[in-house]
Structure 1
Amino acid sequence: MTRYVAFLRAVNVGGRQVKMEALRALLEQAGLKNVKTYIQSGNVIFDSGAKGIALEPKIEQLLKKNLGFDVPTCIRSMAEIQAVLDNNPYPGVVPDKDLQIYIAFLQTHPGKEAAAVLETMQNDIETYRMHNREVYVLMKKNTGAPPFSNNYLEKKLGLVATTRNLATVSKMLTF
Structure 2
Amino acid sequence: MNRPTAFFLRGINVGANNRVPMAELRALLTEQLGAQEVKTYLQSGNLICVRQGDPAEFAKTLSAAIESEFGVLSPVVHRTFEELSAVLAADPLRDIATDDKLYQVHFCDRPVPELDLAALPIHDDERIVVDGSEIYIWYGSDKGIHASKLPVALGKQLPDMTITARNMRTVRKVAELLDVAAPD
TMscore range, shorter length: 0.7 to 0.9
Residues 19 and 72 of structure 2 are in contact (CA less than 8 Å); yes or no, is this contact kept in structure 1?
no
CA distance in 2, matches of 1:49, 1:119: 43
Q: Deviations over 1:10-63 (max 9, x none)?
A: 110152111110010111120111111001110001012212122121111111
Deviation at 1:136, TM superposition (A): 0.2
CA distance in 1, matches of 2:118, 2:82: 28
Change (3 A) 1:148 1:167: farther
Whole-Å Cα distance in 1 between the matches of residues 61 and 117 of structure 2?
30
Deviation at 1:109, TM superposition (A): 1.9
For 2:140, the aligned partner's letter is K
Paired residues, number = 171
- Report the residue type matching 2:9 in the other structure: L
Partner of 2:34: 31
Change (3 A) 1:13 1:27: same
Aligned match for 2:46, one of 43, 46, 59: 43
Amino acid in structure 1 at the alignment position of 2:141: K
Change (3 A) 1:72 1:24: same
Q: For each residue in 1:53-100, what CA deviation from the matched residue of structure 2 results, as whole angstroms up to 9, or x when unmatched?
A: 221211111111111121010000011111001111112234339x82
Q: Secondary structure at the match of 1:142?
A: coil
In the alignment, the residues of structure 2 paired with residue 129 and residue 77 of structure 1 have an alpha-carbon distance, to the nearest angstrom, of 21
5+ residue gaps, structure 1: none
More strand by share: 1
Provide the secondary structure at the position in 2 that maps to 1:10: coil
2:112–2:134 Cα contact (<8 Å) kept:
no
Q: What residue ranges of structure 2 are gaps of 5+ in the alignment?
A: 178-184
Contact 2:112 2:130 in 1 (8 A): no
State the AA in 2 paired with 1:7: F
Counterpart in 2 of 1:124? Answer: 124
TM-score (norm 1): 0.88
Q: Aligned partners of 1:47 and 1:126: how far apart in 2?
A: 36
- State the match for 1:8 in structure 2: 9
Amino acid corresponding to residue 135 of structure 1 in structure 2: I
Identity of aligned pairs, percent? 29
The structure-2 alpha-carbon separation of the partners of 1:36 and 1:148, relative to structure 1 and needing over 3 Å to count, comes to: farther
Question: C-alpha distance in 2, partners of 1:165/1:36?
Answer: 19
- Greater shift after overlay, 147-156 or 24-33? 147-156
1:155 maps onto 2:156 in alignment: yes
RMSD of aligned C-alpha atoms?
2.1
Q: Give the match's secondary structure for 1:129.
A: strand
